[in-house]
Structure 1
Amino acid sequence: MKTLEEILTVTRSIAWGATDILRSYYRGDNKQNLEVNYKQNEPVTVADTATNNYIVEQLQTAFGSEDFGYISEETYQKQAANSKELVWIIDPLDGTRDFINKTGEYAIHIALVKDKRPILAVVAQPETEKLFYAIKGKGSFVEVRSVTGDNSTEALNVSTRDSLDDLTLVVSRSHRNEKLNHLLKNLPCKNQKVVGSIGGKIAAIVEQKADIYISISGKSAPKDWDLAAPELILSEAGGSFTHFDGTNLSYNTGDINQWGGLIASNGKCHQMLCEEAEKILGQLS
């Protein structure tokens, strides 16, 4: 079995390859028709499928299927939790609507999960040529690709802002519901920054451009592949990502949906935010 550091080296290379595939579709270099279909009311394009196939095939070639299981947005079918000790959780295109609408704010998520918790993560932002990565207990880093091939890498740390009034919320253009709108309206932090894709939102927090991201499920909920990689990137940069009651997120449980209220933050006011969110939402009941 390879070490996590060796596995990460391979995974980063795969993520850069997936970045090039998505950029070729995004910039129109790929001549295939980018026809949009819908699966459970969410858009899917040929770019999602092509990138997914590349990532899964490359991971399976590198690591096989004897020790590793695979859960991917584009191939997942309802099933019991994967029985493998180590499970890859993959989102080949996080932010498909942003990809289609050409905002540039889409991402690639690849996470390795053990005992329902992420231990290795990569989040790539193709349009910024940035690759965020982490191993549990080893910190978070961002690699920026250069046209000269001389990539730069730096360690990531969340902001030290510790007053609710000073914190900036990163929010979606879509994926809103009545509860979330009520909560955002009543929280003390009024600064907001709009960013597409969950990977992009967490990247904004670890790059100190924002401090909080909140999700509340309605008819649907974020999925394992939306959160597993970004969560580890954030926590290894010093932030927190939990349910409103402070409990950890769990992955590969047999239910891919992450129901309820979730808060990602720089960690400085995390417990206070959780308590405030539950109090504000309690006013609706």
Structure 2
Amino acid sequence: MENLLKNIIQISKDAGKEILDVYNTTFHIEYKDDKSPLTEADKRAHNRIENGLRKISTFPIISEEGKNISYQERKKWKYFWMVDPLDGTKEFIKKKGEFTVNIALIKENRPILGVVYAPAMDVLYYGGESLGAYKVENRKKVKIAVKKKSNNKITVVASKSHLNNETKSFIEKLRKHFNVDMTSVGSSLKICLVAEGKADIYPRLGPTMEWDTAAAHAILNAAGGKIIKYEDLPLEELKNLNEIEYNKSDLLNPYFIAMRPDVF
């Protein structure tokens, strides 16, 4: 697993170089059928990752920018790669830097290895089963873990661009039980904030796809956290809900909460 991880980290950095080559130019923006933006950076990162993975593995690949594969074929897979070549394209377009390369290895509906690389920030997160979770910044590698329970104060990660009414209502529910601080960051880095103990909980009560979360989910699990399906229940009942799964017939995620395990 460790040798595989080294290869995935290098592939993510190679994709990051492709992204930055475009980032530092005046680039063209296209729009997909769902109105989401697409740039040359998305395409170049996808090609670099796909070519890199095919050199080291025979596992199939699901990528946001790849071809659609039928569930009849996908459901037979035991292992596969789940890739988002450029997560946070809107942040990329706005030149905010909070975008990532996400590569995850999935085993039977669970992410078991994940790499999240933010090329503009040169920050790397990675983790997996039996490996632990790590952050590399300024060439320093540190082991990361979810925050320990403390008093009645929690930090909530919220998306600046996706703070809908459902999320606002959930945060207000939290305020009835906790002293709530808010923080924000782009892309899958929100889940990584929970993994490294800088936040306690990230509620995402809006649409995401499996490739948006898989890599960071593996890292969060390795750091001692989890991502549970959200239901409109009393807070104390949420801890009993199951984690989200991957390679469903519909690759759209359910609403979810990324969290340390003892928030509630």
Structure 2-normalised TM-score?
0.88
Is 1:247 matched up with 2:223? Answer: no
Count of aligned residue pairs for this structure pair: 250
Q: Over residues 25-51 of structure 1, what are the superposed CA-to-partner deviations in whole Å (9 max), with x where a residue is unaligned? A: 2222xx7x3323233121111111110
| 2:85 pairs with one of 77, 80, 92 | 92
Query: Partners of 1:268 and 1:183 in 2: how far apart?
Result: 17
Paired residue type of 2:165: E
Aligned partners of 2:200, 2:160: CA distance in 1, in Å? 17
What are the Cα deviations for residues 206-257 of structure 1, in whole angstroms up to 9, with x where unaligned? 233222100113xxx2111011111111111122211135202111122101
Does residue 158 (structure 1) correspond to residue 146 (structure 2)? The answer is yes
TM-fit CA distance, 1:177: 2.8
**CA offset digits 1:116-144 (Å, max 9, x no partner):** 10111101111221111112122101223
CA distance in 1, matches of 2:17, 2:185: 22
The answer to whether structure 1 residue 229 and structure 2 residue 226 are counterparts is no
**Aligned-partner Cα distance in 1 for 2:28–2:34:** 19
Worse-superposed segment, 243-252 or 51-60: 243-252
Please give the alpha-carbon distance, in whole angstroms, between the structure 2 residues aligned to 1:107 and 1:213.
17
State the partner residue of 1:139.
132
Q: 1:207 aligns with which of 174, 190, 196?
A: 196
The DSSP-based 3-state class of the residue aligned with 1:222 is coil
Q: Which residue of 1 aligns with 2:55?
A: 61
Match of 2:185 among 175, 179, 195: 195
- The match for 1:27 is 24
**Cα separation, 2, equivalents of 1:257 and 1:228:** 12
Q: Which residue of 2 aligns with 1:48?
A: 42
Query: Structure 1 stretches of 5 or more lacking a match?
Result: 273-285
**Maintained 8 Å contact 2:46/2:63:** yes
Tell me, yes or no, if the aligned pair for 1:34 and 1:47 is still in contact at 8 Å. no
| 1:146-198 Cα shifts (integer Å, max 9, x gaps) | 5xxxx3311111211344x411111111123322222223322431112111x
- Does the residue aligned with 2:4 lie in a helix, a strand or coil? helix
Runs of 4+ in 1 over 6 A off after TM superposition: none
Q: 1:17 aligns with which of 1, 14, 18?
A: 14
Deviation of 1:78 after TM superposition, in Å, equals 5.6
- Does structure 1 retain, via aligned residues, the 8 Å contact 2:99–2:186? yes
User: Secondary structure at the residue paired with 1:234?
Assistant: helix
Amino acid at match of 1:178: N
Match of 1:258 in 2: 253
Quote how far apart the aligned CAs of 1:267 are: 2.1
Tell me, in whole angstroms, the C-alpha distance in 2 between the residues paired with 1:104 and 1:39. 25
Q: Is the 8 A contact 2:102 2:215 kept in 1?
A: yes
SS of 1:185 mapped into structure 2: helix
SS of alignment partner, residue 187 of structure 1:
helix
Tell me by how many angstroms 1:70 deviates.
0.7
Sequence identity percentage? 30
Q: Counterpart amino acid of 1:179?
A: E
Report the 3-state secondary structure (helix = DSSP H, G, I; strand = E; otherwise coil) of the residue aligned with 1:253: coil
